[in-house]
Structure 1
Amino acid sequence: MAPAGRSGAHHRGRLDHGLARCVLAARVSGSAPEPAGFGEFRTASGELFARLRQVRAALARSCDPSLTLAQLHLVEELDSSGALSVGELAARAAVSSPTVTGMLTTLERNGIVDRRRSPHYQRRVEVTLTDRGRSIVREQQHRLSARQRQTFDRLSPTERRETVDTMRRLTELLGRLDPPPPPPADGRRSSPPR
């Protein structure tokens, strides 16, 4: 797994949500018999994603004890995308605008993000990371990379190749199941976004 970057944070979220939807759809469809080994796949994938969430949540708290995993996801999106409106951030995080607004209030109070009127569109409020927010992201990336290295070092050369191949294949398959990501904010819209 790559440290969080422009595509890293987004793919991580898409991978989590895509596999969860895939597994849920398989559970509720129930019309066809399960193929051999699917139950074990479903259990193992659930365990893997639960462990990944636990690790990322612990890393977030180690960088800032007040930071939740959901807030970290917003902070990573801002780091990779730059200034975003609340609506754009909500779309990228796959949560409602009111939920994002509540998280941003806490993040702003803690000095992690800043909200300002756009210099180009007075009705648009842009959210950006503060220096402290960028520092938290760098620290989280550093700690995540160290954790990934620890895991990598415990795998044999054959397991490393197989793991990378499997992760890439799953990412590809899940990407085909998900809708495309929202377009990046480029500030060149003909009318202000709401």
Structure 2
Amino acid sequence: MQHDRKDSTSPQPGPDTAVEELAQAADALFLAMRKARGRAAAAGGLSLSQLALLDPLASGDELPVSRLATTAGVSVPTATRMLQQLEGRGVVLRRRCPDDERRVLVRLTQEGTEQLTRLRDQRREAQRRGYASFTAAERTELAAQLHRLAEIIDGHN
């Protein structure tokens, strides 16, 4: 007679295959995102990190480096290095704050505004094309799950 119960001498089950499959899928997604960032930068565009840094400037406001860094989730020294590179490419202008010489204010140049708008539009169009393979219900569920994943990664869950 065969029993469905496992006795204490039975080997323990291996890693949960569903969890492993999910981990591999997440790794593949993150790798694909890194490759996409590299392709964008290699094509003379802006990387996702640079887009995150510049996005608050799209409204035309002039903002301090510290605020841009916080919004992009990078340190102030990292933001400063990125902005120096972008200034050298004619994307942004930096100037000392007249009220506080320690603060540096940043704004997009006309070229920077045009480039940011063009790249954001291209990115959204590529996303629309890619997401078109999902049904409306799948897109809704995917969006919810990606938000959850982002919260987990950020440590807020």
Calculate the TM-score normalised by the size of structure 2.
Answer: 0.71
| Larger relative contact order (Cα-Cα within 8 Å, sequence gap ≥ 6) | 1
Contact map agreement 1:74 1:89 (CA 8 A) in 2:
yes
Cα distance in 1 for partners of 2:56, 2:131 equals: 26
Cα distance in 1 for partners of 2:42, 2:46 equals: 6
Residue in structure 1 matching 2:64, options 85, 89, 93: 85
Cα distance in 1 for partners of 2:153, 2:85 equals: 34
What percent identity do the matched residue pairs reach? Answer: 33
SS in 1 for 2:113: helix
SS in 1 for 2:35: helix
RMSD: 2.9
Give deviations 1:31-56, integer Å, cap 9, x for gaps. Answer: xx854411111110121122233334
| 1:49 corresponding residue in structure 2 | 30
Instruction: Kindly state the Cα deviation for residue 161 of structure 1 after the two structures are TM-superposed.
Output: 1.5
Cα separation, partners in 2 of 1:73 and 1:57, compared to 1, 3 Å: farther
Asked if 1:105 is matched to 2:81, the reply is no
Residue 171 of structure 1 aligns with an amino acid whose one-letter code is H
Cα distance in 2 for partners of 1:152, 1:67 equals: 22
1:43-192 matches, cutoff 5 A: 43-62=24-43, 65=44, 67-79=46-58, 82-155=61-134, 157=135, 160-172=136-148, 174-175=150-151, 178=154
SS in 2 for 1:115: strand
Cα separation, partners in 2 of 1:69 and 1:61, compared to 1, 3 Å: farther
Calculate the TM-score normalised by the size of structure 1.
Answer: 0.60
| 1:189 corresponding residue in structure 2 | none
SS in 2 for 1:111: coil
Cα distance in 2 for partners of 1:179, 1:43 equals: 20
Cα distance in 2 for partners of 1:81, 1:131 equals: 10
Gaps of 5+ in 1: 1-32, 181-194
| 1:23 corresponding residue in structure 2 | none
Instruction: Kindly state the Cα deviation for residue 132 of structure 1 after the two structures are TM-superposed.
Output: 1.1
Which region of structure 1 is more displaced relative to structure 2, 66-75 or 105-114?
Answer: 66-75
Contact map agreement 1:86 1:97 (CA 8 A) in 2:
yes
Cα distance in 2 for partners of 1:80, 1:51 equals: 30
Name the count of aligned residue pairs.
Answer: 143
Instruction: Kindly state the Cα deviation for residue 61 of structure 1 after the two structures are TM-superposed.
Output: 4.5
Contact map agreement 1:75 1:133 (CA 8 A) in 2:
no
Gaps of 5+ in 2: 1-13
Residue 144 of structure 2 aligns with an amino acid whose one-letter code is R
Contact map agreement 1:60 1:72 (CA 8 A) in 2:
no
Instruction: Kindly state the Cα deviation for residue 101 of structure 1 after the two structures are TM-superposed.
Output: 1.5
